Amino acid sequence: MNKFEPEMTTHRVGTEGRESVENFRARRRAFRALHEAGCFVIPNPWDVGSARYLQQLGFPALATTSAGFAFSQGMPDSEGALTCERNLVYIADIAAAVDVPVNADFASGYGESPQDVADNVTRCIAAGVAGLSIEDATGDPSSPLYELPLAVERVRAAREAIDQSRADVLLTARAECFLVGHHDALRESVRRLQAFAEAGADVLFAPGPHDPTAIKALVDAVRPKPINVLVVRDSGLSVADIAALGVRRISVGGALALAAWTGFTRAAQKLKSEGSFAGFASLVSYPDINGFFVTDYRTRQSDKQRAAGSPS
């Protein structure tokens, strides 16, 4: 085992110093620029290690995943289980661990009233994010979506909180119609996304559709504002195919975390049910992964030493 000096990885929300503030400002400018032209993939790490690896691959921005993080903590993906406080620590840890912009999956804002949403958005901004998303889902199966007037007020409250912070954080508004099984999901998504755009959302997002016709309809409905598309399965579409539809941003939600869980659960089940180690075939090697983290750790330590030695 390689021995290194221990490193504290937990980032305290809202306690960044002057250099960190400038760094986050630069990330926010870069994140906004990514939405001005072209199409980019924003993958979703579930912990610091996966975030560092995705950054090393060259992705220009990252997004948190409430599902991926919740599963890693032994919890379901719900606001009742994954509290605002716990999610904020996770968000801050990811933002502090990388040098690229981070967008926060901030569920429905952890509050019903617009004021509660605004207060929690202010806390999320302090975690160092370059963007954050607010959903219109209630979590109540009997009434799964906020009525549109209230949903709009919640988006407007998030917008005002961002403006008051002067942090230039991008606001993504999500219409959850497809995910909650709305009977006319496309039409209702268009209605809601257009209203959210009027309320001040920078980016619009209706997770669920994989059909090119539906995706194109959403893009056209909110043009020129950018659309985020969620891809969590192999739909047959490539990044280039989705980009050709006019999509600006592609996220993968909990899919990368599920890919990790797929390998783990299948190997564990074979080990228990069959006494077989076949699930360990074709693994990425220990030297490869450990070697990446050795190099990554040394680079971070060197960067810290240079920063400590530079004049303030």
Reported as half-sphere exposure (CB side, CA atoms, 13 A), residue 141 has a value of: 1
* Orientation of helix 286-309 relative to helix 48-57, angle to 10°: 90
Q: What is the pLDDT of residues 140-181, one digit of tens each?
A: 999 999 999 999 999 999 999 999 999 999 999 999 999 999
Residue 121 and residue 155 in contact, taking contact as beta carbons nearer than 8 Å = no
Other C-beta atoms closer than 10 Å to the C-beta of 288 total 9
Q: What is the pLDDT of residues 38-60, one digit of tens each?
A: 999 999 999 999 999 999 999 99
Contacts of 248 (CB under 8 A, 6+ apart): 35, 38, 39, 40, 203, 226, 227, 228
198: β partners: none
pTM of structure = 0.92
210/134 Cα distance (integer angstroms): 21
**Sheet with 170-174: strands ordered across:** 40-42, 249-251, 227-230, 203-205, 170-174, 131-135, 102-105, 62-63
**What tokens does 92 get?**
């801050």
* Cis peptide upstream of residue 224 (ω within 30 degrees of 0): yes
Please identify which residue in the block is written with the tokens 């400002």.
25
71/68 Cα distance (integer angstroms): 5
Other C-beta atoms closer than 10 Å to the C-beta of 236 total 8
133/205 Cα distance (integer angstroms): 9
**What tokens does 23 get?**
């760094």
Looking at residue 250, what DSSP letter applies? E
Contacts of 123 (CB under 8 A, 6+ apart): 13, 14, 84, 88
In tens digits, the chain (312 residues) has pLDDT values of 444 444 434 444 444 456 678 899 999 999 999 999 999 999 999 999 999 999 999 999 999 999 999 999 999 999 889 999 999 999 999 999 999 999 999 999 999 999 999 999 999 999 999 999 999 999 999 999 999 999 999 999 999 999 999 999 999 999 999 999 999 999 999 999 999 999 999 999 999 999 999 999 999 999 999 999 999 999 999 999 999 999 999 999 999 999 999 999 999 999 999 999 999 999 999 999 999 999 999 999 998 888 887 665
* Orientation of helix 48-57 relative to helix 84-97, angle to 10°: 40
**What tokens does 27 get?**
């990330």
In the prediction, which pLDDT does 1 show? 45
In the prediction, which pLDDT does 19 show? 62
